[in-house]
Amino acid sequence: MSILIDENTKVIVQGITGRDGSFHTEMMLQYGTKVIGGVTPKKGGQEIHGFPVFNTVEEAKEATGANCSCIFVPARFCTVALREAADSGIALIVCITEGIPVLEMIENYHYVREKGARLVGPNCPGLISPGKSKVGILPGHIHKPGSIGVISRSGTLTYEVVYNLTLSGMGQSTCIGIGGDPIIGTSFVELLEMFEEDTGTDAVVIIGEIGGEDEEQAAEFIRASIKKPVVVFISGRTAPPGKRMGHAGAIISEGRGTAEAKVKAFNEAGVRVADRPDQMPQMLKDIMK
């Protein structure tokens, strides 16, 4: 099985006529994702990649029955795009866009939740259930169907870990890039709970990084509620305090959010933490024997 998306997920793309939206829509289609329409204001009635472009998400949902939206809208328009998707009853919103102001995202987070939608991102690569569907920009060819769930704050490290898992013969149930911003739609804890309940997932990989306390919260949740094997990698162990390292959320502030604190939290929860991403497949094999 998988979580969040599968072969029945119907996807529309907001910003489909832009460069990135058009390119990655084609990549999703080639992977087998059921992309069934797109949205670009004032460009309704056009066609792209063989399906219609609509002026609004509401029009697209009514015409196609879409239950997922992938957003490639520029940051200055993204709040409107997120809220439009939520208002239209889209169940899963995947926001690839980077650079949305933090104060806007705080309000967007609560707005989307109040509408009953699930948001993945922003500033994320999206997610993939190998062999079934991918929504976003993840490279489909490195993934393999299997039973390992992957949750990551880092896009590039996701690809490295997944590639090593695949080379080791360990396929994935679903891989999710949750995003590297300070405010994101879906947390490690929420996804861990989903993977724990998913009968098609036997173990979980977590890829964390400096900044925030999401990893510490995940460690506590694992200790209290997760029975499936979990292995972890935390990037940024050599990062200097007070400096952003890549993602907007990857910053150590007032001694909080350090890699050392995150590693300690997982160790105290009985979770094995890898020193390098390429160690994770063997660690999984050792604890799944």
**239 pLDDT above the threshold of 90:** no
Question: What's at 74, amino acid-wise?
Answer: P
**Predicted local confidence at residue 255, as pLDDT:** 53
Domain final residue, candidates 120, 149, 184: 120
**254 pLDDT above the threshold of 80:** no
- Is the domain of 152 the same as that of 216? yes
**Predicted local confidence at residue 285, as pLDDT:** 95
**242 pLDDT above the threshold of 60:** no
3-state helix, strand, coil split of the chain in percent (to 5) is: 35, 25, 40
* Coil/strand/helix, residue 129: strand
- Is the domain of 154 the same as that of 271? yes
Q: Write down the mean pLDDT value for the chain.
A: 94
Catalytic site residue from 24, 49, 143, 247: 247
- Is the domain of 271 the same as that of 144? yes
% of the chain residues with pLDDT over 70: 93
Residue 141 is among the residues annotated as catalytic for this protein: no
Kindly list the strands in the beta sheet with 145-152, ordered across the sheet, starting from the edge strand earlier in the chain: 133-136, 126-129, 172-177, 145-152, 203-209, 230-235, 272-274
Question: What's at 32, amino acid-wise?
Answer: G
**Predicted local confidence at residue 44, as pLDDT:** 95
**Predicted local confidence at residue 246, as pLDDT:** 55
* Coil/strand/helix, residue 87: helix
Domain that holds residue 26: 10-120
**Predicted local confidence at residue 28, as pLDDT:** 98
Whole-model pTM over 0.75: yes
Number of domains the chain contains: 2
More confident residue, 154 or 252: 154
Q: What is the pLDDT of residues 202-220, one digit of tens each?
A: 999 999 998 889 999 999 9
- Please report whether residue 48 resides in a domain: yes
**151 pLDDT above the threshold of 60:** yes
**257 pLDDT above the threshold of 80:** no
For position 36, which CATH number holds?
3.40.50.720
Q: With bands split at pLDDT 50, 70 and 90, how would you rate the model's confidence at 256?
A: low
**113 pLDDT above the threshold of 60:** yes
- Please report whether residue 178 resides in a domain: yes
106-122: b or e for each residue (b if 16 or more CB lie within 10 Å)?
A: eebbebbeebebbbbbb
- Is the domain of 179 the same as that of 252? yes
More confident residue, 289 or 119: 119
- Is the domain of 24 the same as that of 105? yes
- Is the domain of 159 the same as that of 281? yes
- Is the domain of 65 the same as that of 174? no
36 vs 111: CA distance, rounded Å? 26
Q: What is the pLDDT of residues 160-174, one digit of tens each?
A: 999 999 999 999 999
44 vs 275: CA distance, rounded Å? 50
**Predicted local confidence at residue 210, as pLDDT:** 87
For position 263, which CATH number holds?
3.40.50.261
**Predicted local confidence at residue 175, as pLDDT:** 98
- Is the domain of 97 the same as that of 205? no
**Predicted local confidence at residue 243, as pLDDT:** 55
Q: Give start and end residues of each alpha helix (H) in the chain.
A: 19-31, 57-64, 75-87, 102-114, 155-167, 188-197, 214-225, 259-268, 280-287
- Is the domain of 145 the same as that of 255? yes
- Please report whether residue 85 resides in a domain: yes
